[in-house]
Amino acid sequence: MNLFSTFEPSTMIFSLNWMSSLLMILMIPSLYWLIPSRLLMMWILIIKLLHKEFKILIKTNALKGSTIFFTSIFSFILLNNFLGLFPYIFTSSSHLSFSLSLSFPLWLAFMLFGWLKNTTHMFAHLTPQNAPGMLLPLLVIIETTSSLIRPGTLAIRLTANMIAGHLLVTLMSSMGSLLTTTFVTMLILMQILLLILESAVSIIQAYVFSILITLYSSEVS
């Protein structure tokens, strides 16, 4: 057992590690109750707030209903991040194979849609307004490069932030057997504070991922 064994999926094709992404399905039957619970009412309120945020970022009526799609991405990443905080549950969102499978197809779809439907608009994005003529070739290269690395930056941002916190929790917990009672008590308090911080990071990273995807979609319309 090494430090990174928690983040290493099994080499089996039908590994049970990735089944943690499907645990959220267990929460779906509560949606069919006639009278919603407090948890469901709070979740509906969060979805409404996200709908308003995404609607402001899209800035166009051409993509009606797309806020539901971006809200679903937020919910999917958020639940996977939270499930990874529980003991003995595989953190699927800490792997590039998970985050790249979300970011790359979405980025590719937006790029194909933009270049096929709004070619002039996409060319205009490569040359900022009021830019000096001598710098235009350099600016085109920079904008093209920044556009090509977007799926990678999205995936690495999510993966790195999830791995960093989990590694810190693992490092601190591995020292418990070597400490005295007083220091163990301090370690437990620090672990609790760190778990609270990790919960906030889980929410923030899901929000950042969905917001950036929304911004990328608004650029191609």
What does the pLDDT average to over 39-57? 85
Average pLDDT in the chain: 81
Q: What is the pLDDT of residue 15?
A: 58
pLDDT tens digits for range 120-170: 878 777 777 777 777 778 888 888 888 889 999 999 999 998 888 888 888
pTM: 0.77
Say whether pLDDT at 32 is over 80: no
Residue 181 pLDDT class (50, 70, 90 cuts): confident
Contacts 24+ apart (CB under 8 A), 97-105: 98/21, 98/159, 99/154, 99/155, 99/156, 99/158, 99/159, 100/151, 100/152, 100/155, 102/73, 102/77, 102/154, 102/155, 102/209, 103/150, 103/151, 103/152, 103/154, 103/155, 103/209, 103/213, 104/151, 104/155
Query: What is the C-alpha to C-alpha distance for residues 85 and 28, in angstroms, rounded to an integer?
Result: 21
pLDDT tens digits for range 65-105: 778 888 889 988 988 888 888 877 778 888 888 889 999 99
Residue 53 pLDDT class (50, 70, 90 cuts): confident
Which H or E run contains 19?
none
